[in-house]
Structure 1
Amino acid sequence: MNRPETAPVLITVAPYDQATPRGAILGGWIMTQLDHAAGLAGRKIAAGEALILSIKEMTFRSPLHPGEEFAVHAGLTRRGGSSFNLGVSGWAEPEGACRLVFEADVLLVAVDAEGPSRKLP
């Protein structure tokens, strides 16, 4: 699988304090980055607030190591009346190479200021 050609939604560095004794970054930290990236991408698509309804599928493909640059990409895969799906993937990018860390299918819904769902623009 090749890294998406679109710009990443989120770029960060994997922190040393989130590593397991075996040297891989904790899955919970990676899932937090997915949450941030899906929220950022979802706001743009919804032209306002959007909430994650479910992570329909998430697969870890390779470990992420402390100190590695970590880029998260998100792209629209389905658009409904008020909900939509994003394909989200995280990539380790150490020293110019890249490696798929996870991929996920995330379902979001556009909401108004009071919380109920609203139509997408």
Structure 2
Amino acid sequence: MSTKPRAALPPHGPATPPTDKELVLKVIPMPADTNGNGDIFGGWVMAHVDLAGSILPARIIRGRMATVAVKEFVFKQPVRVGDILSFYSSVTRIGRTSVTVDVEVFAERFQRQGSFVRVTEALVTYVALDENGRPKAIETSDAG
């Protein structure tokens, strides 16, 4: 039997939504979104992270864009029917043709509204596209 200590796991208790990110989306998963265990499909959550992550880049790119990378997608807690999911995001990098966004998802459990748990987070990168679907430079302008 090994006596090697296990790596500490991140806390799964109550959390506080971030104050340094913008609330970009709120959704409530329904029974049709569940897997055989009664939890919400991870792919359903991932799709909503992609939608939430695209809000801030859309303001910068102001045109067609596509998701090109998702990094470090970690599920920390299951999502359940009736949870109120809040998606917070912030831009972490603006490149020549791409924008990377950090997205964190918090759940208010149906029976404990006002108490949050972090359920997942991901880094998502979007690339600006021209009319032919090829990467294009992001226009940087201070004029709004």
**Aligned CA-pair RMSD:** 1.6
Question: CA–CA distance in 2 between the matches of 1:117 and 1:20?
Answer: 36
Deviation for aligned residue 1:26: 0.9
Classify the secondary structure of the residue corresponding to 2:50: helix
Amino acid at match of 2:135: S
Q: How many residues align?
A: 121
Deviation for aligned residue 1:66: 0.2
Match of 2:99 among 80, 84, 88: 84
Q: Equivalent residue for 1:17? A: 32
Question: CA–CA distance in 1 between the matches of 2:36 and 2:96?
Answer: 45
Deviation for aligned residue 1:74: 1.6
Percent same amino acid among aligned pairs? 28
The within-5 A match list for 1:1-121 is 2-5=16-19, 6-94=21-109, 95-121=113-139
Deviation for aligned residue 1:48: 1.9
Ranges in structure 1 where 5+ consecutive residues have no aligned partner: none
Give runs of ≥4 in structure 1 deviating > 3 Å: none
Return the TM-score normalized by structure 2: 0.76
The answer on whether the counterparts of 1:42 and 1:49 sit within 8 Å (CA) in structure 2 is no
Return the TM-score normalized by structure 1: 0.89
